[in-house]
Structure 1
Amino acid sequence: MTDNDAEGLTPLWEHNDPSSTNMYRFMERVNEKHGLNFKTYKELYAWSVTDLPTFWEEVWHFTGIKASTPYEKVLDASAPMFPPPAFFEGAHLNFAENLLFPPSNPPADDVAVFEVTEIDRRTVSWGQLRERVRECQSALQHGLGVRPGDRVAGFVGNHANTLVAALASISLGAIWTAVSPDFGVQGVLERLRQIEPTVLFADSASFYNGKVHPALPKVAEIAADLPSLKAAVIFRSISGLDVDISSVKVLYGEVLTYNDFLQRSRPSELIFEQLPPNHPIYILYSSGTTGAPKCICHGAIGTLIQHKKELFIHGDVGPGSRILYYTTTAWMMWHWLVTSLASGAALVLYDGSPFRSRAVLAKESINGNPVLEQEDATPTSIPDDYAMAKLISELKITHFGTSAKYLSLLEQKQLDPRSHPSLDLTSLQAIYSTGSPLPPSTFRYIYRVFPPSLNLASITGGTDIVSLFGAPNPLLAVYPGEIQAPGLGMAIRAFEPDRTDVTDRGTEGDLVCTAPFPCQPVGFWARDADGSSGIHTATGIAKYRAAYFELFPGVWHHGDFVRFNPRTGPGLVMLGRSDGVLKPAGVRFGSAEIYNVVLKGFGSEVADALCIGRRRAEDADEEVVLFLKMEKGKQLDEGLRERVKRTIRGELSARHVPAIVDECVEIPVTTNGKKIEGAVKQILSGMNIKLSASVSNPECLEFYREWARTH
């Protein structure tokens, strides 16, 4: 990033009619109701983080939260951030009901979901979606006895059956969790063993980049190692592909195809368990940097109101919108995408390669009937590289979300969707980018090749909050390399290690949040030594405190480096992770997952390992480097490199495979033996080293300095 980019002096975009946006209408409503006179986002934001109870109450009403029992108190303004404070005490509601019956009351035959793969398209109407959820709900409740608090897991791709299973589970008060089918067996079990699911939904196969990838061999291993299961339910996830479930066994339960499972349903009304606002609905997983992934539980009201604020107010996602986020079911952006239903928008669920969508949708179906046509193989066919642009054009998508890596790949290929005569991108109102910082050059590229009227929003948040700290903003300009602003109600700052607030200085610091926010996790699912498990165990509480409140007691520490730009007002620049989390191509995972595989499989050859994410100023994405300290007398050769990569791919996923595997002489550790990843990450990324005095062997860092100079 150049100095001019860093200062953010040249805007790339400003809304041509801010008064038409939901953000502006929200500001007007606040002004009228409370006798205020806000004219800018900066003024509205300052109020939102100082009068938290009033602000969140206004969001509740403006976005149309549905509850069977009204709240008695929004928030105790004097409550500390830990333990996480209660929002909207006294209310009873159901998250799934808010998604299936949004305030806009869409007609039953309007499209709620576009289900798209590389080979076919289907639509699901609002009426059909509700009926499918009812059927699944009844089979879960009456056929398998699923109750509030049970965990229901998915080993599933991004398709309509996954959405149905998740909403049906949550409608009953069960907690939904998912891992995508590209994960290896060990990666799945490290997560699901901890939460002991009652039901496992699983795909029979997946289709990616023109190839069928069988999933049942993995499902068989996973199901056999989860004794808590009452049932494994298998989706026929590829039309016309036979499904033989005989290889799948459940220790104390049964294995069913999805069709057989639905036979357990009864003629009954669609019901919604009315539960307290902090009742957990999702379990997402940390990266596993220091051991097994942490099981992060998110509550109904925090997830719902935060997503509705971000989608409806910040993003203008509402009735008439069609939103596609290219994501897996394990990434928090899937959960964010799904909540778009609560604003009356239609979802586009895409499962496949972003460079292989070749089916043609001749005309839109609004009655939910399957739509499938042959690949267009004429000389005028749109190339595969334009697959996502083609979807935007055909389905009239208004909001498209993806990773920074994908947009950087488009830039590297120098694709120009606007110049293609068969593509009409005029429906597109916004492009959202997350997973890693979006380079300034890519900002400029997007505005050259996509409609310049769209809001290109680099956004930031995370699994920990299942939402955003830095959000889209229709009242503010877009500057190259910057996130537009903190989201309303999110009191984020940049702190140095001694708690010095450097936000207004424009220097880098740790991203913190200094005031309560509703999407704080409601707890970590964990097990105590006495065998008790849940979100209120002593183990879970200790893990929660250590994860977010250890470095800055009383203040949420998010684990990112950030710099606020005083010249652009609320703009901020993400500088990467401040811990050992690895994020190549926006996929978030921890070094411990790599260590577990390497040391388990190669312990006779490899003494230890150090896995680092390197992202220098000139790099468009993070590159994972795996250093191996060899056993005495052993050497790292090309054969071992390939075996290590192949094993990581098989045990975890292709996304976990390091870009570089190299040998090191020593690994830096603290005085208590913990690996020091942060210092090496800073060295490899060309950043200033923030070295703790607790390093027991600092001399070995010279090896990594030399390595960084020569690689």
Structure 2
Amino acid sequence: MPHIDEDIHLEAKELWRPSSPEKTQIYDFMTKVSTKHGISMYDYNALWQWSISEPAKFWEEIWHYTGIKAHEPYQQVLESDQVLFPRPAFFEGSTLNFAENLLYPASLPDENSIAVIGATEADREFISWKELRERVRKCANALKEAGLQTGDRVAGFVGNHANTVVAMLAAASIGAFWTGVSPDTGVHAVLERLKQVEPKVLFADNSSLYNGKVHGSHAKVREIVSELPGLEVLVVFEIAKSLEFSLDQLRPENGKVVTYNDFEAAVLDQSAPLEFASLRPDHPVYILYSSGTTGAPKPIVHGSLGTLLQHKKEHLLHCDIRPSDRLFYFTTTTWMMWHWLVSGLASGATIVLYDGSPFRPFDVEGGNGEMAMPRLIDELQITHFGTSAKYLSMLEQAALNPSKHAHRPVSLSTLRAIFSTGSPLAPSTFEYIYSSIHSDVMLGSITGGTDIISLFCSGCPILPVYKGEIQCRSLGMAISVFDYAGNDISASGEPGDLVCTVPFPAQPVMFWPPGPKGQEKYRKSYFDVFGPSIWHHGDFVRVNPQTGGVVMLGRSDGVLKPSGVRFGSAEIYNVLLKHFADEIEDSLCVGRRREGIDTDETVVLFMKLAPGCPSTVPELAARIQAIIRKELSPRHVPGIIDACPEIPVTSNGKKVENAVKQILCGLNIKIGASVANATCLDWYRDWSSANS
């Protein structure tokens, strides 16, 4: 019988320790695996080591423990001695349907219990399992009536609301591929994506509500439709029913346009049942896209079983999500975290969708914008709350303490876990969460990517939380740290590139388009650096050999190398957030080395000053350099520090370091439309010219 290892190294600062680890699902899984296979596993590290040394046995146990619903049984889990590229096959011989596993989870929730809560700035919608299944049935039959077939693409220019989940599940039930783009995305960025995958059906919102204002989408949708010649059906969700929205002007060149209500009503047999196509495990379910910050985004295609297995493993074991829980993630439909959130249905949990500003309270009168999400947690009894590191750092800068808020304190009594991703979570923000938000929650600073639609490193309910560290490398994910020469330096604690050395089912099934061209894009994206046996992810990290925790240091292509010393930009950002939060609103740190000009790399730090900052740039720069020298090292001190008007970010709020780095290095690059505020890059071009 396994027990929890109490011999924990405490050199890193421990902020939280689980009080009843033996009551978690991961402990139960570890116990059952130990008994079945006759092995002794006494802690998480032993379970992780077994999961990566015996991948076929591990994933087979995940299949059974999480209750995958299949039409045909698998013949083989995984061939032995497989490399990661070309992608190996998992669970060959089986057939299943992704949508069926989400709509009819193994936990068999009561059909009248709540499956989905849809929340906006203005209202709430509660949808039972029975109602959700009925809505998917109607939508799926309408899609079939419109001629949709297995393998067709269905796109959504839609917000994070219940209709989006219904449309996705309906498409997946047939075997079509779903691809979603948030309505706040610019037309050029939308078309960069959708023109590549040629959707047959497009769902679009007629408007969105954000920060108390209704934003019509007629002009955007009209332009998008006009550039998609293969589009056969445009289906419009009437988010704002009073909004004037001329359907005739939106008609696809070779198709039709219809409101969602009329789309459903057009089905000839209104009593037709919901049917689930029986599909191979690697049959695609989602198409996501690379960031596209320095060129056209690459369409990444994810398979049904790999996505399902990985998400169920993460939800049940790493997050300890149960059927009675309520899972929330503040996300757009473009971000991979939307897909991760929706998969919560497969564990029988209630998913909470929110479409709107995170600073817009439902009850505006006497409210406080910073309290909007804490109040939502209390109101909807959310147990697992996910957001971006940027949002949490903004709360930290505002010194918000929900339990002591003067106007209306909140208890957050239902909250058991907080998840953060999108960028590294600063050590100071770890302490802020435990001192000001909640003292007894699992803080899961997690990391993965669109590339794997899941996590490489995650939270763990049987491990402590240490300041500044992700708790663990995920089960089944053979994560190591390599130096530039391909040596494994994980045990040294030194920083290097995050790699994965054992196949896992959530690898993309392909890059679009199918065939040699897409396959070559796939290979170059992850296997150009260390070869077909090593997935090179592009993150710069280190593993703490004492705790097993992982520290994110930024992206590999943004690694700073002055005088040959390698470090990540996150180290600089953490210092600024800790010491200069009142003076600096945001920052960007990159290296500049111009060919034929510079013999070494210069670290350049740009600061977006906070409103009303009293300091001059030279005075502030001198203090920053002194603090960095003291807290990090002389090698970390930026050679140039200057103020800037804006920090370029993607639509998900990630800093666009690489584009600025290439501008400063004098490279002529094409900036992709995924830079949400791309016009600000002109300032960096001017700065580079003026400081040459």
Within 2, Cα distance between the matches of 1:172 and 1:392?
Answer: 35
Cross-structure match for 2:36: 33
C-alpha distance in 1 between matches for 2:122 and 2:165:
20
How much has 1:659 moved relative to structure 2?
11
Q: Match of 2:161, as an amino acid?
A: H
Q: In structure 2, what residue type is equivalent to 1:618?
A: V
SS in structure 1 opposite 2:112? Answer: coil
Q: CA deviation at 1:667?
A: 3.7
C-alpha spacing 1:168/1:382, structure 2 compared with 1 (3 Å): same
Shift in Å, 1:238: 2.8
- 1:351-396, CA deviations, whole angstroms, 9 ceiling, x for partnerless residues? 000000224xxxxxxxxxxxxxxx5x3xxx4422100000100111
Residue deviations 1:70-92 (CA, integer Å, cap 9, x gap): 10000012111100000000000
Q: 1:253 aligns with which of 255, 265, 274?
A: 255
Give the one of 371, 374, 385 matched to 1:389: 374
Percent of residue pairs bearing the same amino acid type: 52
CA contact (8 A) 1:289 1:580 kept: no
Match among 523, 539, 554 for residue 560 of structure 1: 539
- Tell me the equivalent position of 1:57: 60
Q: Quick one: distance in 2 between partners of 1:94 and 1:617?
A: 44
State which of 303, 306, 317 in structure 2 corresponds to 1:313: 317
Q: Does residue 388 of structure 2 align to residue 403 of structure 1?
A: yes
How far residue 449 of structure 1 moved from its aligned partner, in angstroms, is 1.8
Q: Tell me if 1:572 matches 2:550.
A: yes
- Change in Cα spacing, 1:30 to 1:231, as seen in structure 2 (3 Å) is same
- Aligned-partner Cα distance in 1 for 2:324–2:34: 27
Contact (CA 8 Å) 2:402, 2:409: kept in 1 or not? no
The secondary structure found in structure 2 opposite 1:138 is helix
Partners of 1:564 and 1:313 lie apart in 2 by: 21
Secondary structure (helix, strand or coil) at the match of 2:512 reads strand
Is 1:508 aligned to residue 495 of structure 2?
yes
Q: Cα–Cα, structure 1 residues 7 and 292, in superposed 2: closer, same or farther, change >3 Å? A: farther
Residue number among 216, 227, 232 corresponding to 2:218 in the alignment: 216
Determine if the alignment matches structure 1 residue 461 to structure 2 residue 464: no
Q: Match of 2:301?
A: 297
Residue identity opposite 1:315 in structure 2: C
Q: Which residue does 1:98 correspond to in 2?
A: 101
Task: Give the deviation of 1:613 after TM superposition.
Answer: 11
Counterpart mapping for 1:284-683 below 5 A: 284-359=288-363, 377=365, 381-420=366-405, 422-526=409-513, 535=514, 537-553=515-531, 554-568=533-547, 570-579=548-557, 616-620=573-577, 623=588, 667-669=665-667
**Could you say what secondary structure the match of 1:579 adopts?**
helix
Describe the superposition over 1:622-651 as per-residue Cα deviations: whole angstroms up to 9, x where unpaired.
Answer: 638999x9xxxxxxxxxxxxxx999x99xx
For residue 21 of structure 2, the aligned residue among 12, 18, 21 is: 18
After superposition, the C-alpha distances for 1:34-91 in whole angstroms (9 at most, x for unaligned) are: 1111110010100000000000000000000000101000001211110000000000
Instruction: Supply the AA of the counterpart residue of 1:301.
Output: L
C-alpha separation between the residues in 1 aligned to 2:663 and 2:383? Answer: 52
Partner amino acid, structure 1, of 2:537: H
Deviation at 1:442, TM superposition (A): 0.6
Q: Indicate conservation of the 8 Å contact 1:227/1:250, yes or no.
A: yes
Amino acid at match of 1:87: F
Tell me the distance in 2 between the aligned counterparts of 1:68 and 1:61: 14
For residues 515 and 654 of structure 1, the distance between their equivalents in structure 2, rounded to whole angstroms, comes to 30
Shift in Å at residue 658 of structure 1? 7.9
Q: 1:115 aligns with which of 99, 118, 123?
A: 118
TM-score (norm 1): 0.80
Q: Distance in 1 between matches of 2:151 and 2:411?
A: 46
User: 2:154 — aligned with what?
Assistant: 152
Distance change >3 Å, CA 33–CA 358, structure 1 → 2: same
TM-superposed CA distance for 1:663, in Å, is: 13
Compared CA separation, residues 496 and 313, structure 1 to 2 (3 A): same
What is the number of equivalent residue pairs in this alignment?
Answer: 598
Query: What residue number does 2:581 align with?
Result: none
Query: Measured at CA, do residues 660 and 479 of structure 1 come closer, stay the same or move farther in structure 2, by a change above 3 Å?
Result: closer
1:679 maps to what in 2? none
Deviation at 1:675, TM superposition (A): 9.6
| Counterpart Cα distance in 1 of 2:434 and 2:115 | 30
Partner of 2:167: 165
SS of the equivalent of 2:575 reads coil
CA shift in 2, pair 1:550/1:168, >3 Å: same
The answer as to whether partners of 1:8 and 1:479 remain within 8 angstroms in 2 is no
Distance 1:8 1:446, change over 3 A: farther
The amino acid across from 1:70 in the alignment is: P
Amino acid at match of 1:56: W
Cα 1:613–1:443, aligned 2, differ >3 Å: closer, same or farther? closer
Query: Within 1, Cα distance between the matches of 2:460 and 2:655?
Result: 36
Q: Give the letter aligned to residue 22 of structure 1.
A: Q
Aligned-pair Cα RMSD in Å:
3.1
For the residue of structure 1 that corresponds to 2:411, the secondary structure is: coil
Partner of 1:83: 86
Rate the CA distance shift 1:707–1:563 in 2: closer, same or farther, 3 A.
farther
Q: Note the C-alpha offset of 1:8.
A: 5.7
Match of 2:132 in 1: 129
The CA deviation at 1:223 is 0.5
- Measured in 1, the distance between the counterparts of 2:368 and 2:186 equals 32
Match of 1:264 among 250, 266, 272: 266
Which residue in the other structure is 2:607 paired with?
none
Letter in 2 for 1:331: W
Give the secondary structure class of the aligned counterpart of 2:225: helix
Q: Is the 8 A contact 1:458 1:483 kept in 2?
A: yes
SS of residue matched to 2:377: helix
Instruction: State the SS of the aligned residue for 2:15.
Output: coil
Unaligned segments of structure 2, at least 5 residues: 1-8, 560-568, 578-585, 595-643, 672-684
> Following the alignment from structure 1 to structure 2, what is the Cα–Cα distance between the partners of residues 478 and 491?
21
- Rounded to whole Å, the distance in 1 between the matches of 2:217 and 2:20 is 49
State the one-letter code of the partner of 2:389: A
Paired residue secondary structure (1:26): helix
> 1:74 and 2:77 equivalent?
yes
1:674 to 1:10, Cα distance in 2 relative to 1, 3 A:
same
Deviation at 1:341, TM superposition (A): 0.2
How far 1:616 moved relative to its partner? 3.9
TM-score calculated relative to the size of structure 2: 0.82
Contact 1:298–1:521 (CA under 8 A) maintained in structure 2:
yes
CA distance in structure 2 between the partners assigned to 1:645 and 1:658 by the alignment: 15
State the AA in 2 paired with 1:271. Answer: E
Look up the equivalent residue of 1:396 and give its one-letter code.
Q
Q: In structure 1, what residue type is equivalent to 2:254?
A: Y
For residues 187-224 of structure 1, give each alpha carbon's deviation from its aligned partner in whole angstroms, at most 9, with x where no partner exists.
00000000000000001011111111111110000001
| CA distance in 2: counterparts of 1:300 and 1:488, whole angstroms | 19
2:4 aligned partner: none
Which whole-Å CA distance do the structure 1 matches of 2:426 and 2:445 have between them?
A: 10
